[in-house]
Amino acid sequence: MSSPRFHGRYEQIGRECEAPGCREAGEFRAPGCRPNGFDGPGDWRWFCLEHVREFNAGYDWFEGLSPEEILAAQSPIAGWRTESRAFRPDTHVDGMPRWADYADPLDAISARARGVRSRAEREARMAASGRFSREEAQALETMGLGSDIDKTRLR
């Protein structure tokens, strides 16, 4: 098997270049009309080397975006200010940290460590008091209650 000369070349499986009037082999793919979505990958158009170069030279990566959206997409911190699914409040993991609340990633990591440590200390205090089992202490922690809770306040 010969090694491909250009990165991105696909073995020819009977495809012809989709450029009008071209009879070369369609060995290079380019984005089609349907983009990637929830229902799977988008479609592809197949071109020869000459026509895929032409296609790439004229491709507009930011078609349909406003100047502000283009600037945001090109920013080195693009995506940093959005919440990761694991840290959304509705994930019920541990409720901290929300990445969008921090400008520096190290601040978020240290906040998470502080939260884990303080939760472990509260659970240890509850277990040491003997009033609650470990499971009960975790349940109280999940509800946001402390070890000083009594039955009437719990109800």
Segment 3-10 shows an average pLDDT of 64
Residue 154 has pLDDT above 60, yes or no: yes
C-alpha 134/C-alpha 5 separation (Å) is 63
pLDDT at 103 over 90: no
As a whole number of angstroms, the distance between CA 135 and CA 132 comes to: 8
Domain residue extents for the chain: 1-62, 85-154
Distance CA 142, CA 85 (A): 19
Query: How many angstroms separate the CA atoms of 155 and 151, rounded?
Result: 6
Find residue 25's DSSP bridge partners: 16
Q: What is the tens place of the pLDDT at every residue in 24-74?
A: 988 898 888 887 777 777 888 999 999 999 999 988 888 888 999 888 888
CB atoms within 10 A of CB 25: 19
Eight-class DSSP state of 92: -
Based on DSSP, count helices (H) and strands (E) in the chain, helices before strands. Answer: 5, 2
Residue 92, pLDDT > 90, answer no
More reliable by pLDDT, 126 or 54: 54
Task: Show the CA angle centred on residue 82, arms to residues 79 and 87, nearest 5°.
Answer: 125
- Angle of helix 105-129 relative to helix 134-142, nearest 10 degrees, comes to 130
